[in-house]
Amino acid sequence: MKIGILSDTHSNESNTRVALDAFKARGLTRLIHCGDITQPEIIYLFSGWDVVFVRGNMDQDWAALGDAANRIGAGRPQIRREIEIDGQHIGITHGDNYALLYEMMMSGHYTYICHGHTHQRRNEFRSAYSVRLINPGALGGSQPEARSICVLDVVSGEVEFIEFPTLR
């Protein structure tokens, strides 16, 4: 199964819509958002998707974000989430809490850990812990590299980054 991963939308509705269109064009239905949503209006764009959200350091209005996520059936964003797809355990956190990120990495429990925060793409296998760390890049906020999202094939482990060089 393939899943779409995005992060750091920072209330950028236009860029989020472009990303969702790219996922839809690839036939994806399941998504992970790695935090820094910032406004409930962004969550409503995910209505109809099977999506998991985590809270980022810029997600200040937790109550409003939680209410919006509940309204679309996604469940409240939390600091840390775990899902299982095709027998693979996927840990999700924003990545601003490095102690938590490294605790998850060293646990040996996850095949994949998805995070955001740095606004830089990452696809790194940590052999000592048998875990792949994935950061899809950012759709909003600061822009150290082109806007991007990614697609993970949970079974093969293949990661495809989709860049949007014209987005700001």
What is the band of 137 on the pLDDT scale with cuts at 50, 70, 90? very high
Share of the chain above pLDDT 90, in %: 100
pLDDT tens track for 99-110: 999 999 999 999
pTM for this one? Answer: 0.97
Distance CA 58, CA 40 (A): 12
The CATH code of the domain at 2-164 is: 3.60.21.10
pLDDT tens track for 78-119: 999 999 999 999 999 999 999 999 999 999 999 999 999 999
Distance CA 119, CA 146 (A): 9
Other CB atoms closer than 10 Å to residue 85's CB: what's the count?
17
Q: Give the residues across from 6 on adjacent strands.
A: 33
Domain borders along the chain are 2-164
Question: Which tokens belong to 95?
Answer: 């990545």
pLDDT for the residue 164: 97
What is the band of 64 on the pLDDT scale with cuts at 50, 70, 90? very high
Q: How would you list the strands of the sheet with 30-33, edge to edge?
A: 50-53, 30-33, 2-6, 147-153, 159-164
On the 0-12 / 13-18 / 19+ scale of CB atoms within 10 A, 90 is buried
Contact 55, 75 (CB under 8 A): no
